[in-house]
Amino acid sequence: MFKSLKNMTALLLIVILVLAILTGCSQNAGPGGQPGDKSPSPGGDGPKDVIDTSEFVEVVWYHLGDPPTNDQLDLAAEEWNKILKDKVNAHLKINFIEWADYLTKYNLLLATGENFDMVNTASDWLDMWPNAAKGAFMDITDLLPVYAPQTWASVPEEHWDQCKFNGRIITIPEDQYTQWVNHGFYYRGDWAEEFGITEPIRDWDTLGLYMQKVKDVKGLIPYDVVGSKAHELLDYWFASYTDSIMLEVPGNIFYSKSYDDLYTVYSPIFEDTMVEMAKKMKEWGDAGYWRSDVLNYTGDTREALKAGQTGVDAHHTQTYASLRVEMDEKQPGSNLQMFPVHLQRGNNLIEMSITHGAQSVAARSKNPERALMVYDLMRNDETLYRLLNFGREGVNYVVVNGKRTRPEGFDETAHSFFSNFWGGRMDKFENALPSVRVYDKIGDLYAEYDKYKKPYPYAGFVFDKTPVETEISALNDVKARHVPPIVFGKAGDPEAAVEAFRQELKAAGYDKVLAEIQNQINKWKESRN
């Protein structure tokens, strides 16, 4: 009897399982959400008054960044929503994806299929192409001219070309905003001078000297870096010591040789410079320029710098421009300086791609038309642009002598405002009201960059990783395991460590991926001629 009861239970479970699979299927067949489902009505070129906005909708955007801790954004939203309600019968709500593990959260948000309308994206730091390949963004080629006419007109055609995935536009570029996102090390000018380093630091050896002095004289950890920074530091080294240009292939392993040799794919990891880096970093690690347990350390380098607890930090020029002002307040006289890493050997400086900042319509958006209409206004209407980017005048900023500054009685906690709109900032509105919160001498650095900058050469090249997806995943895993110990000098003998790293890369399919990228680059080159 016991046995038969068990059989019965088993039978029951099988029945239930079958039911579950069936219901699972049918549930999934429900919502459609194919790109292009929401194409505009036939004859889409019609004038604006044809567009039906009788139904009130709320448009939701997701931006990258920690959500505000005060209510300033909500108050500004009230203002812009009044205008939006009048113009397009819609409200705009901004949600945030926090910085901690932002890439995971970002990818998860796109994966869960939550209903939102627009999202910040970027080809170089937010996995735009892989997500486009996974179908996260809506094809807006036909929607743009109708629902975002101002944006459509202001972005030149060659820029739209760079936003195309399989020939369809999937994002709107932030192409009319100047910023420099080339990386470099920040160090304290006051300390450098105290140590007798009077010239600006322009090479890794002098930086090493500075760090040694920070350790000896100040008794601090010179560069209190976290383990996950290793991959960036490797990129820095390559930017310093090679002419290579990084390709937008997941994992940052593949580069092209140089600006004169744009179509030869290789990886500096297999060049001598990799061994040199490993040796130098072992030296630095042994000398104690970072924590011995850097690989397990998860603190905040920038906060340590602001608190005067460490001497070096690293990020891009744009960050430097505002960090400098903040440091002048928090560590008066610190004279924070930046060593842009390309200066080691001169001029390997490529302008960033226009899709470093971009805004896409989510594939599952219910109101893509209205989302684009709202976007068009927020980007191109000066009043709305200011509300979105600067906040409310008189509370979040005041204009003094044509510059944006903080009003009397401004309280950082209560009145600071940001919306992190990085998918469509405009130089014309920003430069009309420059902020005093940006380092006033940053222009000198920009002027220097302008002397030798080269335009981004791979605009429009989208690597299709499908044929080698497995290999790329494997390569990334190998890189994740080997780079941090090598870069922080914790891998034992540098040469042996690099050799082991290379061999594992080879075993994981390096050659196959290289050949595939080379093949796609060649095809792309041909298609352009």
The two three-digit tokens of residue 14, written as one number: 């099988």
Interface with another protein, residue 100, by CB under 8 A? no
Stretch that binds another protein, among 204-212, 394-402, 422-430, 507-515 (CB under 8 A): 507-515
387 binds another protein per the rule CB under 8 A: no
CB burial of 463-486 (b: ≥16 within 10 Å; e: otherwise) equals bebeebeebbebbeebbeebbbbb
Helix, coil or strand: residue 490: coil
Nearer to another protein, 101 or 161 (CB): 101
Among the residue ranges 27-35, 261-269, 441-449, 455-463, the one whose residues contact another protein (CB under 8 A): 27-35
When the beta carbons of 28 and 54 are compared against another protein, the nearer one is 28
Please, which contacts does 431-435 make with residues 24 or more away whose CB atoms are closer than 8 Å?
A: 432/382, 433/386, 433/390, 433/399, 433/402, 433/403, 433/404, 434/402, 434/403, 434/404, 435/397, 435/403, 435/404, 435/405
350: which strand partners? 454
Structure tokens at 1: 């009897």
What is the phi/psi pair of residue 386, to 5°? -65, -40
Pick the closer one to another protein by CB: 357 or 485. Answer: 485
The correct pick among 21, 153, 400, 414 for binding another protein (CB under 8 A) is 21
Positions 270 through 299 that interact with another protein (CB under 8 A): 291-293, 295-296, 298
Cα four-point dihedral sign 425, 426, 432, 437: positive
| C-alpha span between 331 and 349 (Å, rounded) | 31
Distance (Å, whole) CA 211 – CA 69: 36
One of 146, 478, 498, 514 touching another protein (CB under 8 A): 478
Number of C-beta neighbours around residue 325 at 10 A? 18
Supply the DSSP string of 280-322, one letter for each residue: HHHHHHHHTSS-TTGGG----HHHHHHTTSBSEEEEEHHHHHH
Residue 111 near another protein by CB under 8 A: yes
Does 496 contact another protein by CB under 8 A?
A: no
Give the nearest distance from C-beta 112 to another protein in angstroms: 9
Q: Which tokens in the block code for residue 270?
A: 């297999």
Per rule CB under 8 A, count of chain residues that contact another protein = 66
- Interface with another protein includes 471 (CB under 8 A)? yes
The verdict on 504 binding another protein (CB under 8 A) reads yes
- 228 binding another protein? (CB under 8 A): yes
In whole angstroms, give the CA distance from residue 253 to residue 482. Answer: 12
User: How far apart, in whole angstroms, are the C-alpha atoms of residue 45 and residue 459?
Assistant: 29
Q: Does 107 bind another protein (CB under 8 A)?
A: yes
| Between 89 and 473, CB nearer to another protein | 473
Interacting residues with another protein between 166 and 225 (CB under 8 A): 221
Is 484 a binding residue for another protein by CB under 8 A? The answer is: yes
Instruction: Record the tokens describing residue 73, joined without a space.
Output: 């954004």
How many angstroms separate the CA atoms of 355 and 358, rounded?
A: 5
Q: Is residue 16 a contact residue for another protein (CB under 8 A)?
A: yes
Q: Does 104 bind another protein (CB under 8 A)?
A: yes
Instruction: Using CB under 8 A, pick the residue from 509, 514, 516, 517 that binds another protein.
Output: 509
Site string for another protein, 46-85 (x = CB under 8 A): ----------------------------------------
Rounded Cα distance between 201 and 210, Å, is 9
Q: Among residues 491, 498, 514, 517, which is the contact residue for another protein, using CB under 8 A?
A: 491
Residues binding another protein (CB under 8 A): 1-5, 8-9, 12-13, 16-17, 20-21, 24-25, 28-29, 33-35, 101, 103-104, 107, 110-111, 113, 127, 130-131, 134-136, 221, 227-228, 250, 291-293, 295-296, 298, 363-364, 466, 469-474, 476-478, 480-482, 484-485, 490-491, 504, 507-509
